[in-house]
Amino acid sequence: MRRLGYDEGMDRSADWSACLAVERNPERLAGAWAFRGTRVPVSALFTNLTGGATVDEFTEWFPGVTKEQVNLVLEHAAQGLRAPLAA
């Protein structure tokens, strides 16, 4: 399996500020959301999962990102998908 890097495909309409596992700093990664305490963009998780990687592989490929952080991000994304659409 090939490790994939940064991808602009992440849904930027989600309110990631409510997810404790991530942070955004305009000085790093062009202000993209990243896993807290790392330079790993959140979009890399979705890119790699879409490419067939497992959570274990992702955390192995990106040291510093924990399974707990990944699970929080996935739960946050799932909540966003369940949220009602604004009229």
Domain boundaries, the chain: 16-82
- Residue 4 pLDDT more than 60? no
pLDDT at position 15 is 86
Question: Angle formed by the axes of helices 42-50 and 67-82, to 10°?
Answer: 80
pLDDT class for 80, splitting at 50, 70, 90?
confident
Fold of 16-82: Arc Repressor Mutant, subunit A (1.10.10)
Instruction: Identify which of 84, 63, 54, 64 has the alpha carbon closest to the alpha carbon of residue 74.
Output: 54
Full-model pTM: 0.78
Phi/psi of residue 59, nearest 5 degrees = -70, -25
Q: Do the Cβ atoms of 71 and 35 come closer than 8 Å?
A: no
Lowest average pLDDT, out of 10-19, 26-35, 59-68, 70-79, goes to 10-19
